[in-house]
Amino acid sequence: MTAGMSEVFCNTSRLIYLHRLGLLDLLRQLHGRVVIPTAVKDEIATGIQLRKDVPVLADLGWLEERRAPLQVALEFPPSLGSGEREAILLANGVSGSVVLLDDRAARNFATRLGVRLSGTLATLVVARRRALVGELGPVLDILVERGFRMSRALREITLRQANTPSP
């Protein structure tokens, strides 16, 4: 992590979506080092065992695994997965950190705790503005094809934010 940068904590979905786009290295380019909770490592390992299209974490030297605190007095929404819970816990324990989340319930919970967050679309917008990716329209189309949920309105907002012409 570069001096002055916030610590960045990531859940499973961000890793999977960017991997499936062939853009996983954007996390390294934008954040340097990224911390994943042990639960995320375990979720990815399960994906590998099930022969899912998930990244091989051992190939990503810029990822750091960290164990979340065991005893916490937070009541998480029941819909959150263990990776989301641990990412939020870790980020909540580090002042000024950022958690990378897409799930609406997870984002709402993190916001209530005062944890800064960022989504996959924000990552793509920043990458586009820094010329790390080309036109976002085709990237967003592939993202949706690969299971990412996004309304037409959100797609248009994302393209405008990235200064990419809309088709």
3-state secondary structure (DSSP) of residue 129 = helix
Break the chain into its structural domains and give their ranges.
Answer: 8-118, 133-167
Classify domain 8-118 at the CATH topology level. Answer: Rossmann fold (3.40.50)
Query: Could you tell me where the DSSP H helices lie in 114-146?
Result: 120-129, 136-145
pLDDT above 60 for 4: no
3-state secondary structure (DSSP) of residue 64 = strand
Question: pLDDT (tens digit, 9 = 90+) per residue, 75-125?
Answer: 899 999 999 999 999 999 899 999 999 999 999 999 999 999 999 999 999
Confidence of residue 2 (pLDDT cuts 50, 70, 90): very low
Residue 74's pLDDT is 83
Residue 167's pLDDT is 44
**Contact assessment for residue 99 and residue 9, using Cβ atoms and an 8 Å cutoff:** yes
**Contact assessment for residue 28 and residue 36, using Cβ atoms and an 8 Å cutoff:** no
pLDDT above 90 for 71: no
pLDDT above 90 for 56: yes
Q: For residues 31 and 24, what is the distance between their CA atoms, to the nearest angstrom?
A: 12
Q: What is the average pLDDT score of the chain?
A: 91
Confidence of residue 126 (pLDDT cuts 50, 70, 90): very high
Residue 165's pLDDT is 46
Q: How far is CA 43 from CA 88, 119, 136, 146, 166, in A?
A: 16, 19, 28, 18, 35
Residue 73's pLDDT is 75
pLDDT above 80 for 166: no
Q: For residues 82 and 7, what is the distance between their CA atoms, to the nearest angstrom?
A: 20
Name the residue type at position 58. A
Q: What is the pTM of this model?
A: 0.89
Give the H/E segment covering residue 113.
helix 104-113
Q: For residues 104 and 132, what is the distance between their CA atoms, to the nearest angstrom?
A: 27
Q: How far is CA 11 from CA 88, 163, 164, in A?
A: 9, 27, 27
Confidence of residue 44 (pLDDT cuts 50, 70, 90): very high
